[in-house]
Amino acid sequence: MFHDPLAARLVGDRGPAIAKSFGRISRHSAWSIVTRTVMIDDYLREAVANGVDAVLNLGAGLDTRPYRLELPPTFPWVEVDLPHLIEFKEQTLRDQMPRCRLQRVGVNLADAKERRAFLASVLPDSHRVLVLTEGVVPYLTQAQVGELAEELKLQSRFAFWIAEYYAPHVYPYLRRIGHSNRMRNAPFQFFPPDWLVFFAQHGWLKHDIRYGLDVGERFSRRSPLNWFARLFLRYSAEARERLRKGSGYMLMTPRD
């Protein structure tokens, strides 16, 4: 699937303990993170091969793709996150060599004025930028996602955008997760009536959607469902298809 040799260094000793503290949720979260990583990796490889000339990773967190993906040495890749997180990554990975031209920028993306100024000025020499927001959109309100979408649309060099996709029938599950003790400080907030219609109304059209369950089947990594759900899905093609299309990642392009 993928190999991330720097992950353990970044999460440190606390990483496994934090994951374990989530209990049953942690199994599904781990599966989701693995499958979404594969989906995004595939999108990025295809985009670079097809002429994307830069990547802008908003809310980059502890992502290490610039170190593990095969990229041209001069390929521009910009990571953006809060200044303290950027400083942590700079220090933790200071002895590592990225495989591309990596730049990290500390920006408070929640500050509208700061965000707009940054988006207007970043990667001025690029013409086909792919924007990545991994694990960002679900935690924003509809108003915040709408503002971000419109601000990205204003910059003509932003040619593609990778973001989550959830079907409305998955929302009750996401809300239950958000009400758990471990998620109360960072609950999911983005529940538009129709995910694709929302983005279209704010300037972005679906180009492609890929689903986590398809990735799981591809690599024999089944979703951690309970035995009753597995039994039910075995006898219901409609339920299997509904589950399959419940969540994934999508590649969007600006609406003309």
12 has a pLDDT exceeding 90: no
Average pLDDT (126-134) is 99
Strand, coil or helix: what is 78? strand
Average pLDDT (27-52) is 90
Q: What share of the chain is helix, strand, coil (3-state, %, to 5)?
A: 50, 20, 35
Banded model confidence at residue 11, pLDDT cuts 50, 70, 90? confident
The Cα 162–Cα 81 span in angstroms is: 17
Most confident of 12-21, 26-35, 64-73, 220-229: 64-73
Q: What 8-state DSSP symbol labels residue 129?
A: E
Angle at alpha carbon of residue 160, lines to 157 and 166, rounded to 5°:
145
Banded model confidence at residue 216, pLDDT cuts 50, 70, 90? confident
Strand partners, 218: none
Domain ranges of the chain: 7-254
Q: Which fold has domain 7-254?
A: Rossmann fold (3.40.50)
Banded model confidence at residue 186, pLDDT cuts 50, 70, 90? confident
Tens digit of pLDDT for each residue in 149-170? 999 999 999 999 999 999 999 9
Instruction: Provide the pairing of β-strand 76-81 with 54-58.
Output: parallel
Mean residue pLDDT across the chain: 88
